[in-house]
Amino acid sequence: MQNDIRTLIPQNKFDTDRAEQAVAAGYPAVEPILPELLEWIQDSNWPVARVLAPFLGSIGTPLIPHIRKILATDDTVWKYWTLTYLVQGSRDVAAALREDLQRYANSPTPDETAEGLDEVARTILRETP
């Protein structure tokens, strides 16, 4: 079954058919391929990102370990879209990541500021008492 689920991973940024199939399979069916699916929200301009982002954002707290791995990377664009798509819409996820959000809001690196991580983190913190 796990090999079959891998056929749902988009092959390129235009592979919306596979992205839609992954969404249709739903969670928890796609749990084994979450890291690969999350890679497709690195750029919101990619057609697959527009298909996958709302679905991934709806998963909620099971994404926390995966989100932490993304936040540990140097990819500030991916971090921005992760906060925007996956954290901003979920109080539980935001609460679990409060320490990271506070660091982005209060002590961002120059790259994080340039990408707007500080602003999105402050917005999320205001929305998540």
CATH number at residue 41: 1.25.40.750
The DSSP annotation for 45-107 comes to: TSHHHHHHHHHHHHH-GGGHHHHHHHHTSS-HHHHHHHIIIIITT-HHHHHHTHHHHHHHHHS
Residues 62-112: pLDDT tens digits?
A: 999 999 999 999 999 999 999 999 999 999 999 999 999 999 999 999 999
Domain containing 101: what range? Answer: 2-127
Q: How many domains does the chain have?
A: 1
**Interatomic CA distance for residues 11 and 6, integer angstroms:** 11
Whole-model pTM: value is 0.94
